[in-house]
Every structure is written in structure tokens, then in C-alpha cells.
Chain A
């Protein structure tokens, strides 16, 4: 007997490029780079194959976290112009695929890190995934304007993991690298939140500019910039980095604080007039790349 059951319309299968977009490749670059710098700066030697595997696991976990983030925030992403064209809000992929992809990547990354590298690095990787996907994405981000401050810890894990992959332990120095990224995150994201305020407001995310106002956010950016600059000088102050790093970090910090001052003095309310904020956001990415590259290079040269 032939059945004539109506079949509902189905979405076409997603392209592999959509899965790639789920991993947030732009964010992954910075995560991989800081993880690599942690690995290179650590004392001791790691086989290049094992080192490559460690970095690959950090990248896979970051990609998995990106997928889990997009799976959870599909409603929010659809309300923001910046994120509306992502695979899920644009309807190019179903949520279940994104969830399975994210969990699969994260589980695979932790498992391989444990088996091939060491279980401390794998444990830190698992903790960073939990921190980003659950503590930051599901809890802090939608509920408090301090989301970026506390959630900054999620992005600060990679150098710690890279270091642990080489040494098998966690000492003061990798904790300092963690602290630098932790302090760098608020001014970086608040600069973005200032000129994307309307987007975040439409999505109902309580970013600092939407809750405390632009003036307070600009003041906080300046304050955190000073704290971050101080944190970057500690490796030099305690003799864990050479004068070359000390001079380079000072110059980079002068640039950062000068831009943060320009943001503090700006009173613009329209995104089109927020050139200082846009400059600080762009510079902050370059800053972190440069600072970690110089630190890693310095540590490799001084042994």
C-alpha cells in the first residue's frame, strides 16, 4: 500500500564553509597565537609533533566553543546586524548540527590533548571550554554588565594551556600571561561595545555602555588599560623577560594608553563619530599579537 504522507519542507544540507564559519576563525587566530606563544615561552623542550598537536587541540576546542556559542545565541545573533548572517540565524544550518559539531570538536580536542600531550593541559582545556560555553555564554553574558570582566578568563586560558603542554605544570609565569589577557579583554571589548551599543541593546545583552552609560564605560576602559599595562611589565620586573621585552612592552603600552585617553576624552554618542573607539579596538588586537610575539621571542632567545 502506498502511503501519501506529507513531508515537511526541509533545509538543504549546510556547506562545509558554514561549519567553518561556526568555528569563528577570526577569534581562533588570536587564541591559537597566544597558545603558541605560551608554548614557545615555556622552559624546556617539546617534540614539534606534540607541540603541533597541542596547538591543534587548542584550535579545535576554540572552534568547538565558537559553535556552541552560536548554537546557544542564535536568537541574539539574529537581532544583531554584525551576526545576522552567521549560518544559524541566516537559516543555512539547523541548530542540532551546530550543537553536535561543537560538542564533537571539544570532546575530540580534550581527548587528543590528554592522550598525546598531557592530562594537565587537557584538564585546563576542558576547564576553558566549560568557562567559555557555560559560565560566560550561558550565564554571565546575558545577565551582568561584568560579563566581559569575568568572562575574559575564558580567552586567557590558551597561553596557560600552551605552557602546561610543555612543562606539565602551572607556575607564576603562565599565570601572568593569563592575567595580561584577562586585563586586556575589558578595554578591547568595551571599545567594540561603545560603537556597537545599538546592536547589543537590540539583542538585550547588558554590555557596560548599555547599563552604565558611555561616560562610565570610557572611564573603565582607561582604568583597565593602566592595570593591563602594569601587568605586562611584571615579567620584566621579576627578571623573567629581558630589557628588549621591557622596552617593547613600554612602547606598546604608551600607544594603548594614548588611545584609551582619546576614548576617555571623546563624548560622541553616534557610532560614526567614534573613531577613537574604533582605533583602540583595532590597535588592541595588534597590541596583543605584538606583545605575545615579543615575549615569546624574548624567552626563546634568553633561554
Chain B
């Protein structure tokens, strides 16, 4: 095949390149917001799983 496959980063660059300045700003803001929220959720789940493990193992009796 002569056509090279685009990497995800190249595809993202093409997509972002298709957006105007305002759309790019909104896109980055939303992605950042989702990333922050996912971070909070993952940290909370880590704490919860640790607590569940402690309860299941019976460390505290």
C-alpha cells in the first residue's frame, strides 16, 4: 500500500487544524476538564479499592 497510515497524533493534528481558533480553545478546555474529572474519579477509586482491600483482608479485625 502506498498510502501511509496516519498516527493518532497526526489525525488529531488534522482535526485540530480543521477547527477555528475559538473551537480549538473550547476543545482544549473541554478535554482539560474531562481529564481533571477523570483524575479525581481515579484517585477516589484508588482510595476506595484500598479501603475495600483492608476490610476484606481484615487488617482492622
Contacts and interface: CB of A to CB of B under 8 A. Distances in A.
**Which size bracket describes the interface of A in this complex?**
10 to 19
A271 B51 CA distance: 51
5 contacts: A10-B15, A12-B23, A19-B34, A47-B55, A49-B54
A16 B19 CA distance: 21
Contacts of B56: 116
A53 B48 contact: yes
A9 B18 CA distance: 8
B14 A13 contact: no
A10 B18 contact: yes
A10 B3 CA distance: 23
Given A7-B15, A7-B18, A10-B18, A16 B34 contact: yes
Nearest to B26: A12
Contacts of B34: 13, 15-16, 19
B9 interface: no
Interface in A6-57: 7, 9-10, 12-16, 19, 47, 49-50, 52-53, 56
Contacts of A14: 30
B33 A15 contact: yes
**Which size bracket describes the interface of B in this complex?**
10 to 19
B37 interface: yes
Identify whether the interface residues of B are mostly helix, strand, loop, or mixed.
helix
A49 B52 contact: yes
Contact of B37 (A7, A10, A16): A16
Interface of B: 3, 14-15, 18-19, 23, 26-27, 30-31, 33-34, 37, 48, 51-52, 54-56
A116 B18 CA distance: 46
Contacts of B27: 12-13
A13 B29 CA distance: 10
A204 to B, nearest CB: 34
A52 B3 CA distance: 53
B23 A116 contact: no
A159 to B, nearest CB: 23
Contacts of A47: 55
A13 B35 CA distance: 12
A47 B58 CA distance: 11
Interface centre among B3, B14, B52 (most CB of A within 10 A): B52
Given A10-B18, A14-B30, A52-B48, 12 more contacts: A12-B19, A12-B26, A12-B27, A13-B27, A15-B33, A16-B33, A47-B55, A49-B48, A50-B52, A50-B55, A53-B48, A53-B52
B55 A49 contact: yes
